[in-house]
Amino acid sequence: MALFNENLRMTDVVEATVTRGGGSEEGINLKGFYTIECFDADGNLKWTDHIENLVTTAGKNDALDKYLAGSGYTASFFLGLVDGGSAPTFNIADTMASHAGWTENTGYSNATRVAPAFAAASGGSKATSAAAAFNINAGGTIAGMFLTTVNTKGGATGILFSCGSFSGGSRAVVNGDTLNATYTLNA
């Protein structure tokens, strides 16, 4: 009788990887947009446009300084119109004192730049609670909007928070038109 030897060899292999310093990364990127509706003197909608805006370096720095400073402050913001007489260009370094690529349009009867009213922030977004109305009193073209901290029409002081051009290019306005504008900032 033949003898058979059976051998069984067992091996377990375990692998593991440890990553150190690999935590979650949280970031904040400010991105805003304007929505504008133009109504004629009879209340008929003439056009609507949407602006993906540029948040300027001055605007970002102002937001960081105010939020992280830890002291009380009151924020005041005002909407202004960008003139469409020439194709505007915007730069992240633009300020109210220096924005060579565009000019302000002041062809509206409001005494100052228009103050938007903001609702409470929710879900990482802050938006106006109602449209801010510009009462146009001169014919011309509007190319975009901006948000600043000073209400003086045509003024060169304050913080330029954001600015941008209409997606459809410059838009014609006439005396009697009303531009209703809203602004939303997402973080």
pLDDT at position 8 is: 45
Radius of gyration of the chain (CA): 27
Closest CA to 108 of 134, 83, 79: 134
Mean pLDDT of the chain: 87
pLDDT (mean) for 39-43: 97
Provide the token pair at 102: 């565009």
Q: Is the pLDDT of residue 11 over 60?
A: no
More confident call, 124 vs 27: 124
- Write the DSSP string, 66-100: HHHH-S------EEEEEE-SS-----TT--SS--T
61 in helix, strand or coil? helix
CB 55 within 8 A of CB 62: no
pLDDT (mean) for 39-62: 93
Name residue, tokens 């014919």: 139
* pLDDT confidence tier of residue 75, bands split at 50, 70 and 90: confident
Provide the token pair at 87: 């194709």
Phi, psi of 62 (to 5 degrees): -65, -45
Which run of H or of E encompasses 60?
helix 57-69
Q: Is the pLDDT of residue 162 over 90?
A: yes
Non-local CB neighbours of 117 within 8 Å, separated by 6+ positions: 128, 129, 130, 132
- Which range in 21-25, 82-86, 175-179 is most confidently predicted, on average pLDDT? 175-179
CB 177 within 8 A of CB 41: yes
* pLDDT confidence tier of residue 107, bands split at 50, 70 and 90: very high
Q: Is the pLDDT of residue 6 over 60?
A: no
pLDDT (mean) for 99-121: 96
The torsion region of residue 96 among left (phi > 0), alpha (psi -120 to 50) and beta comes to alpha
* Residue spans per domain, the chain: 31-186
More confident call, 173 vs 68: 173
Each residue's pLDDT tens digit, 139-151: 999 999 999 999 9
